[in-house]
Amino acid sequence: MDASLVNVPKNRNKRDENKAIKEDKTPEGWDDQPNMKCQKDLDARWTKKHGKSHYGYKNHISIDKQDKLIRRYKVTHAAVHDSQVFDDVLDEENSGRSVWADSAYRSEKQEEKLKEKGYISRIHYKGTRARALNKREQAANHARSKTRVRVEHVFGDQSNSQGGILVRTKGMARAAVKIGMMNLTYNMRRLKFLLRDQSVQCVG
């Protein structure tokens, strides 16, 4: 599983307006300007990744490692941490019992929950300022990356083949539909490739 940022056109708001939006309030005076208000996205949020600011939503997905088909997804605003959507995208009907994810998903509580449910955690080890990863953990992360990277291929395909990961809608409901259609389109294209590849192998 993994998550990708989905950018939307940026809102140019004042600091107090952004504060009100974060508190799920309508900024003062916006109700008196309906034409301006309808151009504002009150559901999108700012977040930082690798030192860069992003504004919009997140597409959280889980795939099967064999065929790279999206099994489950959930759309949130960009500020939601990946680990908070773990249970929503964990597909208990997936035939594999190993769970692959980067270190953002790892916690002691999460490891215990997976063990209780009969899963094998392949989530990357997480280092801290107080304790760096040892050589064994580094080697384990390196080995796991070869499988975990398959989920990043999905986002790469969406970005390259579907015009980039960007939506121009306003609000969570419309963004969720747009991102959901983006995921469905990926699955349809991926399935077409898998079926074609299978037929070629049968002929060969």
Q: Distance between CA atoms of 191 and 194, rounded to whole angstroms?
A: 5
Joined together, the tokens standing for residue 48 give: 């930082």
- pLDDT at position 50: 85
Q: Mean pLDDT in each 10-residue stretch from start to end of the chain (204 residues)?
A: 91 76 78 73 89 92 95 96 95 89 94 94 92 94 95 92 76 94 94 81 51
Helix axis angle, 135-148 to 150-161, nearest 10°: 40
Q: What pLDDT, in 10s, does the model give residues 79-90? A: 999 999 999 999
Q: Distance between CA atoms of 156 and 99, rounded to whole angstroms?
A: 21
- pLDDT at position 204: 47
Give me the amino acid identity at 54.
H
Q: What pLDDT, in 10s, does the model give residues 95-139? A: 889 999 999 999 999 999 999 999 999 999 999 888 899 999 999
Residue ranges in 75-171 assigned as alpha helix (H): 86-89, 108-116, 135-148, 150-161
pTM for this structure? 0.88
